[in-house]
Chain A
């Protein structure tokens, strides 16, 4: 760790990174998912990301940040003792001692917001908007905050040495598994076809995700230096490799490359490199990217139909499964000459893979069980699902009295 002196270069980079991650959710995820849904649900789909962002922003400054990143209490949760109002403008962040704590709070807030927004892709077309808002409050409070503390805030997985540079477990496995739990409670839609109503939206959304991901991954270096540069380059490399390998699968399966395949691959590659970004070499990033498309493609085209869950836009398939591969790959490929904090199995530390498996199992298990409980509570009180008529007519007119298209 650097000396606790404010560094204006680091601070400038972290301010920009924070804004880049905002771009991933609003509008990145909103457009990516919005384009893939039916046109009768486009506004509801985009709205779920936007409202999730707003609610999380408020929770984060009220109590979220201190509970996730405050002084550790028995490895499980942060101390609420130093609440938000106790932070001075020039106070430096304990976990990033060259930038102001305010910047660190804002940066971490954007991660919480995108994690919950990602979940919305699985449940499009059938969840009550009021129940989604209630779910956002409960899930951020009782799932995201504890897990962020365990892995990043000084909790038990942090102490154990689990490696998660920018959120393979905290963001992607967490959101993917929670999405799976929620769709199991919600049940299947009447019409489960994935027929994008405006694939162009999704291309713009995916492009904004790719662009914003540089803030997400290179920003997670928390400094503006060589490590951020390395994370930046491996992030781009893995995304490109995964786009190419997904298109190869398209060629092998149907004989034609698809644009949806290309952007799905790019996102899968970005997910997979996320936990590894500040630990692995460019060569490892190529491999991580190439492999991850096969992992996610398998989940989407085989696992989904075999198990019969209705993960509408493949949140579990892409974020859960590529997140899983990325977390394990970090335990294999982490190179001590990239980052002294991480040594993987291929560099003489086979124990790291065990640590990674424990972290994955703990995060996935906790997220799945608590999401099921929270979802069940909402189902018994507010009800999770819209009625059949609203589902068939579309959520935009029924829940929001608006339509996406006047033409």
Chain B
């Protein structure tokens, strides 16, 4: 099992959701987060003074899937969230030790 964490543009959330649905991935957890990347944010100008706005609003998705769907899900996110510009975000993948469905007490692949 894998945990996929994706940081995306907030206005790309709807596109990503439907792309995930198309590949059969239904369960997601979404968080509104703030952060910055290598570029350290963007510049805004007020009354002639430039300010670096380095904490930009982003959307963070968390998805748990079985191993064989990993590439499919990654492709879906990349295709639907990509604009080609700085600020498109990142995807992080890590192994998951176990999953438990609280309602039925099922474990492992069945619980995903």
Contacts and interface: CB of A to CB of B under 8 A. Distances in A.
Q: Do A and B come from one complex?
A: yes
B84 interface: no
A300 interface: yes
Nearest to A195: B51
B44 to A, nearest CB: 8
Contact of A196 (B46, B48, B50): B46
Contact of B51 (A193, A249, A250, A256): A193
A300 B51 contact: no
A301 B46 contact: no
Nearest to B45: A254
A260 B46 contact: yes
Nearest to B46: A194
Interface string B31-50: 00000000000001111111
The secondary structure that dominates the A interface is helix
Nearest to B47: A300
Contact of A253 (B44, B48, B51, B53): B48
A300 B45 contact: no
A254 B50 contact: yes
A289 interface: no
A314 interface: yes
A66 interface: no
A242 B47 CA distance: 14
A261 interface: yes
Interface string A213-255: 0000000000000000000000000000000000001100110
Contacts of A249: 48
Contacts of A250: 45, 48
Contacts of A300: 47-48
B53 to A, nearest CB: 8
B17 to A, nearest CB: 23
B58 to A, nearest CB: 18
Interface of B: 44-51, 53
10 contacts: A193-B51, A195-B44, A195-B46, A195-B51, A196-B46, A253-B48, A254-B48, A261-B48, A300-B48, A314-B47
